[in-house]
Amino acid sequence: MTDLVVPAPGLPTVPTSSGGRFPVRRVYCVGRNYAAHAREMGHDPDREPPFFFGKPADALVTDGADSPYPTLTARLEYEVELVVALGRGGRDVSVADALGLVWGYAVGIDLTRRDLQAEAKRLGRPWDLAKGFDHSAPIGAIVPAAGVDPTSGAVTLHVDGVLRQSGDLAEQIWSVAETIAALSRAVALAPGDLLFTGTPEGVGPVARGSVLRGAVAGVGVVETHVV
């Protein structure tokens, strides 16, 4: 075996409700998947097919750990989301078969450096540093898919105990199954992949010292302290 010239990076993992750890290969995110959120961001939700961006797997914040306020931004924003954890992979998966790939579900928060994203959009540049920075993806424990209905359920986010986001999975433009199927036409999915499935309206800024608590009915919660 060839000797490694630098230490091998550790494999990011997420806790599960059963006590084990879920190993993470890739983190995908679908953009503007709730009509009201698309409108609040200035877009027409009726004309867009799903589009995707990514976060590094080591950007995950697990086990209720703190989330350091990132550099290079004066407007950090929260986006609560249902997260899908894949236990099987595939390419060109049909909508009918898509949910068969799912191992479980969790609640996540897509932290966004909104000012950097706006500047990138204005200049026609990638969003990578606006979305994929360190500690940009707090996530709660993953619960097994059995018994979870990913087509309906309240989605909420509280900041310091005050409700800021409130929606329902039934309001998604593209269902979980449709989103998985669409993504599988672009890349080969594999066990260990996570998919953040979009956020309802009400996104907004967060300050140092705030406590974020996201929840999806029937799935669980995620909580992190911005420090």
Query: What ranges do the domains of the chain cover?
Result: 21-225
Superfamily of domain 21-225: Fumarylacetoacetase-like, C-terminal domain (3.90.850.10)
Could you report the per-residue pLDDT of 87-141, keeping only the tens digit for each?
A: 999 999 999 999 999 999 999 999 999 999 999 999 999 999 999 999 999 999 9
Mean pLDDT of the chain: 94
For the entire predicted model, the pTM comes to 0.94
According to the model, what pLDDT value does residue 15 have? 98
SS (H, E, C) the chain: CCCCCCCCCCCCEEEECCCCEEECCCEEEECCCEHHHHHHCCCCHHHCCCCEEEECHHHEECCCCCECCCCCCCCEEECEEEEEEECCCECCCCHHHHHHHEEEEEEEECCEEHHHHHHHHHHCCCCHHHHCCCCCEEECCEEECCCCCCCCCEEEEEECCEEEEEEEHHHECCCHHHHHHHHHCCCCECCCCEEECCCCCCCEECCCCCEEEEEECCCEEEEEEEC
According to the model, what pLDDT value does residue 32 have? 84
Could you report the per-residue pLDDT of 12-64, keeping only the tens digit for each?
A: 999 999 999 999 999 999 988 887 655 555 566 665 788 999 999 999 999 99
In the chain, pLDDT over 70 holds for what percent of residues?
94
